[in-house]
Amino acid sequence: MSHAAITLRPALARDSHAIALMSRDHIEHGLAWKYDAPRIQRALARRDVALLVACDRGSLVGFAMMEFGDERAHLALMAVRPTHRRRGIGRHLLEWHLDTALTAGIESVHLELRAANDAARRFYRALGFGETILVPRYYGGAEAALRMVRVLRPPLGARPAWQPPAHWR
Ligand SMILES: CC(C)(COP(=O)(O)OP(=O)(O)OC[C@H]1O[C@@H](n2cnc3c(N)ncnc32)[C@H](O)[C@@H]1OP(=O)(O)O)[C@@H](O)C(=O)NCCC(=O)NCCS
């Protein structure tokens, strides 16, 4: 694989099946399969969801899905095919979402991952996320989740009232 062969683009309806299978095999393995193709298609139809895919000569090798609120965004899903890991694809996918969130004025990006997923934890740390809390039995009532956050900007808080320019007064 050469880096020049990797392209990023928004996901299309025809990507749903490949994304769902990657979610089942690389994210939800051993748990009930929640992100099946119909659920991915519903997510694609939402205006508050951005789903980005990475392709190697037309073949889908990674994806990242972010849900945007007013102040917070939630990274719901992301994976890169094992054959394509440690080549910066995950970083490019996530940085695209972080740049978009920053431009949209989002204050913080949140995510949770399986607490035993050390590779992902290291990946998110490398992308500037910090660990917040451990949620016992989050997955299927059995497995703990680790929550992580990346703060993009300070909260706005109370802003001073608008004042007319001095020459108007
Ligand atoms: C987590 C995941 C998306 C990372 O994707 P990736 O394309 O391999 O990541 P990158 O190559 O962009 O890595 C960026 C940096 O993250 C860190 N990192 C990534 N994978 C790592 C690992 N296995 N161990 C330690 N650090 C790692 C490194 O600092 C890396 O930089 P470097 O390669 O220059 O040292 C990928 O491992 C994956 O799909 N895992 C299975 C699914 C999953 O766990 N998803 C996340 C939870 S929902």
2 band by pLDDT with thresholds 50, 70 and 90: low
Hey, which of 84, 86, 124 would you mutate to test ligand 1's pocket, going by the most ligand atoms within 8 Å of its Cβ?
86
* Rounded distance from Cα 124 to ligand 1 centre (Å): 8
Hey, which of 3, 22, 123, 129 would you mutate to test ligand 1's pocket, going by the most ligand atoms within 8 Å of its Cβ?
123
Indicate which CATH number applies to the domain containing 7.
Answer: 3.40.630.30
Assess whether 139 carries a catalytic annotation.
no
User: Is residue 136 domain-resident?
Assistant: no
User: Is residue 164 domain-resident?
Assistant: no
User: Is residue 54 domain-resident?
Assistant: yes
User: Is residue 156 domain-resident?
Assistant: no
Q: What is the pLDDT of residues 43-52, one digit of tens each?
A: 999 999 999 9
Structural domain total, the chain: 1
Q: Give the Cα separation of 131 and 144 in Å (integer).
A: 14
Position 132, amino acid = T
User: Is residue 139 domain-resident?
Assistant: no
Q: Give the Cα separation of 135 and 112 in Å (integer).
A: 9
Q: What is the pLDDT of residues 78-124, one digit of tens each?
A: 999 999 999 999 999 999 999 999 999 999 999 999 999 999 999 99
Give the residue numbers spanning the domain of 44.
Answer: 3-108
State the greatest distance between any 2 C-alpha atoms of the chain, in Å, as a whole number: 68
User: Is residue 45 domain-resident?
Assistant: yes
- How far is C-alpha 50 from the chain's CA centre? 9
| pLDDT score of 165 more than 90 | no
Assess whether 71 carries a catalytic annotation.
no
The residues near 115 (Cβ < 8 Å, ≥ 6 apart) are 134, 143, 144, 145, 146
Q: Which residues pair with 72 in a beta bridge?
A: 108
User: Is residue 104 domain-resident?
Assistant: yes
